[in-house]
Structure 1
Amino acid sequence: MERWLALELASTIRHDGDGGVTDDLATPQGTTRWIRERTDLLADALPAGGLTADEALRSEITELRRAVRALFARGVAPGPASSADARVLMSADEALAHLNDVAAREPVVPRLEWPPGGAPTARLLSAERDPGVRLVAALARAAVDFLSGPQRGRLRACTAPRCVRYFVKSHGRQEWCKPSCGNRARAARHYRRQRLAADDGAPGS
């Protein structure tokens, strides 16, 4: 299954399993754990030995997430935005300006690498010494790449009861982010149909 760093950042706000919403980046410790679990996606941005987030870095990442989620809401329109923050979203113009500003904090240059007998590859090199700046800029560039790529047209907000995730449709008929959400949505529909049928058959109806 293809992974998108921008989508994983947005998904740090998620259903907690008990009817509420939880934030994986609510503390520096949670932020550090999230970063370390994505070392494969952030390898070029992280220093050797990894990175420990402090409150300032956590705040920068969550502010970037606000911008990304606002632009995701714009991306799924006219469909519904995630119910987690649909009423408190940053404006699209503010989100766009913030995303571009963060992406520009780290000057990078492309470097072509072409080993003998191998295929040429490109990587971005940076002279930035602050690993926090490199990390947040890398997250912003991942969002720029995601939102300017073909997957944006398949971006949806899951409409299953209690789910607040965004997801990328993998096939044309997909309505929910994962099978468990589909099961919950179908159960809710069945319950509503039963209630309507019971109300229609009630005396005096």
Structure 2
Amino acid sequence: MPDTRPDTRLTLDLALTIRHDGQGGVADDLDATEGLTRWVRVHPDTLGGVPDGHWQADAVTLAAVRSLRAAVRALFAHAVRPGEPSPADARRLLSVTEALERLNAAAAAVPTVAVLAWPEGGEPMAADRPATAAGPEAVAATLARAAIGFLAGPDRSSLRACHAPRCVRYFLKEHPRQEWCKPSCGNRARVARHHERHRVPQP
């Protein structure tokens, strides 16, 4: 993926914790607290300074993040209309109203303060950080604010659902002819089309 805004990357990464399991089903990288712990540790800078070496997810944080992810994926499905949503979402989407309520409530759970960073030799960067110590709501609040930034920003118009066989991902369309999230999905889709065209009708 090309260089994208931090809110975009974080929000897509959250949505992509639902993925194809390689065997015809759907896997969930956040099905347990250990999975969320691993995921957060990969995103320490983006998650508002959550300590990357010692932080451990608990059941409350896991439930909050999973609830938020369901809202994000419902709003992704809304954003890609009139296209179809990801196959993983087609039968279990929240309503847009409920998704917005969840997203906004999660974002409001932890107040933020503006923080300025100015790395040596770089440009100054402003960011919002939690104003209180990282509690159970902090991770979901940070993710919710990132999702709001993405959904209200310019990258949303490039959001698509990949409909290659066995794929359940969302992606950003990078050029006009792009149909799939990655080349391997395009290959599978072309093979499936070829087989469909040359399938022998059953008597």
- TM-score higher than 0.5 here? yes
Distance between the aligned counterparts of 2:54 and 2:152, measured in 1?
29
> Which of 36, 44, 59 in structure 1 is aligned with 2:41?
36
- Whether the 8 Å CA contact 1:45–1:138 is kept in 2: the answer is no
Count how many residue pairs are aligned between Structure 1 and Structure 2: 198
Counterpart residue type for residue 148 of structure 2: V
Aligned ranges 1:1-205 → 2 under 5 Å: 1=1, 2=3, 4-42=9-47, 44-47=48-51, 49-112=53-116, 119-195=123-199, 198-199=200-201
- Report the secondary structure of 1:180's partner residue: helix
Question: Per the alignment, do residues 190 and 55 of structure 1 end up closer, same or farther by CA in structure 2, a change over 3 Å counting?
Answer: same
- Whether the 8 Å CA contact 2:50–2:134 is kept in 1: the answer is no
- Report the secondary structure of 1:132's partner residue: coil
Gaps of 5+ in 2: none
- Report the secondary structure of 1:167's partner residue: strand
- Report the secondary structure of 1:122's partner residue: strand
- Report the secondary structure of 1:85's partner residue: coil
Q: CA deviation at 1:135?
A: 1.4
Q: TM-score, normalised by structure 1?
A: 0.88
Cα shift readout 1:51-91 (whole Å, capped 9, x = no counterpart): 21112111110000000000000000110001112111110
Question: Per the alignment, do residues 114 and 37 of structure 1 end up closer, same or farther by CA in structure 2, a change over 3 Å counting?
Answer: closer
Question: Per the alignment, do residues 180 and 114 of structure 1 end up closer, same or farther by CA in structure 2, a change over 3 Å counting?
Answer: closer
- Report the secondary structure of 2:140's partner residue: helix
Distance between the aligned counterparts of 2:165 and 2:134, measured in 1?
42
Distance between the aligned counterparts of 1:93 and 1:183, measured in 2?
37
Q: TM-score, normalised by structure 2?
A: 0.89
Identity value in percent: 55
RMSD, aligned CA? 2.1
Counterpart residue type for residue 56 of structure 2: T
Distance between the aligned counterparts of 2:120 and 2:36, measured in 1?
40
Counterpart residue type for residue 13 of structure 1: I
- Report the secondary structure of 1:39's partner residue: coil
Counterpart residue type for residue 38 of structure 1: H
Distance between the aligned counterparts of 1:123 and 1:77, measured in 2?
31
Gaps of 5+ in 1: none
